[in-house]
């Protein structure tokens, strides 16, 4: 049987339910064998680097996919030196024996809208199928108008011919949680609940290691604990 894999890259700072929704939706819609969730090492398009360390971001990704059928965590970008470019990640999979038509690179509408700024554009589009998934407020079906030079390569994911060996740009409208990593970090920094926005295992890891907490919030929690133990 010929293997077909999905790749969902991202900072995952932290990983949240929206990421998992997208990975599962693509795997189901295109009948992929697996989807790799790949935390980036140094995101080239972000002026501010990740808050959590590579160790914690990979740990949270591994916890998030644990027990989820077909989803796997990969540390390949974290183990590579320098910025994490999609083209280099795809090349590594080519070197492992996968052809471009066997790879489905997953991205959101907002990120793909900036594809012309990506390293090795437009050649990168020939290195894999690109699956552009909707996000709340972002409809992929508007991309042909927004990127007319690529419109001929775009098609709805449900119309994809699995026998095709020509990389395509596949548009998938799928329900995903209305959440972003920046929102999660902001809520955690303010001491607000993130219940339902993250897998419970990820939320527990964040709490255990005091990730994304403002110093004022951490100090307040310590003082509260001291009071409970009669030490204040």
Q: What is the pLDDT of residues 27-84, one digit of tens each?
A: 999 999 999 999 999 888 766 789 999 999 999 999 999 999 999 999 999 999 889 9
CATH architecture of 5-172: 3-Layer(aba) Sandwich (3.40)
Reference 55, options 68, 67, 73; nearest CA is: 73
Mean of the pLDDT values across residues 177-188?
A: 96
Mean of the pLDDT values across residues 150-165?
A: 95
Question: Using a CB cutoff of 8 Å and minimum separation of 24, what contacts does 221-227 make?
Answer: 221/191
Using 50, 70 and 90 to split pLDDT, how confident is the model at 1? low
pLDDT tens digit sequence for 184-217: 999 999 999 999 999 999 999 999 999 999 754 4
> How much is the pLDDT for 205?
98
pLDDT tens digit sequence for 94-124: 999 999 999 999 999 999 999 999 999 999 9
pLDDT tens digit sequence for 144-155: 999 999 999 999
Q: How far apart are CA 130 and CA 6, in angstroms?
A: 9
Residue 4 pLDDT greater than 60, yes or no: yes
> How much is the pLDDT for 100?
98
Q: What strand order describes the sheet that includes 103-108?
A: 71-73, 34-39, 5-10, 103-108, 129-133, 169-172, 154-156
> How much is the pLDDT for 224?
40
> How much is the pLDDT for 49?
84
- Give the domain ranges of the chain: 5-172, 181-228
């Amino acid at each position: 049987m010929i293997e077909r894999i999905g790749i969902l890259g991202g900072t995952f700072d932290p990983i949240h339910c929206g990421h998992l929704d997208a990975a599962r939706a693509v795997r189901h819609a295109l009948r992929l064998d697996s989807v790799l969730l790949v935390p980036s090492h140094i995101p080239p398009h972000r002026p501010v680097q990740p808050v959590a360390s590579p160790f914690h971001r990979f740990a949270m990704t591994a916890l998030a996919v644990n027990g989820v059928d077909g989803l796997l965590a990969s540390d390949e970008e974290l183990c590579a030196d320098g910025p994490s470019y999609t083209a280099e990640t795809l090349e590594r999979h080519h070197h492992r024996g996968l052809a471009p038509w066997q790879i489905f690179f997953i991205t959101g509408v907002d990120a793909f809208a900036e594809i012309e700024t990506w390293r090795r554009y437009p050649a990168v589009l020939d290195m894999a199928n690109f699956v552009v998934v909707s996000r709340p407020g972002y409809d992929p079906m508007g991309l042909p108008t927004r990127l007319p030079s690529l419109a001929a390569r775009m098609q709805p994911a449900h119309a994809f011919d699995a026998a095709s060996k020509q990389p395509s740009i596949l548009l998938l409208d799928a329900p995903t949680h209305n959440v972003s990593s920046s929102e999660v970090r902001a809520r955690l920094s303010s001491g607000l609940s993130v219940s339902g926005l993250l897998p419970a295992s990820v939320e527990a890891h964040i709490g255990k290691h005091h990730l994304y907490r403002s110093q004022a919030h951490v100090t307040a929690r310590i003082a509260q604990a001291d009071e409970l133990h009669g030490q204040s």
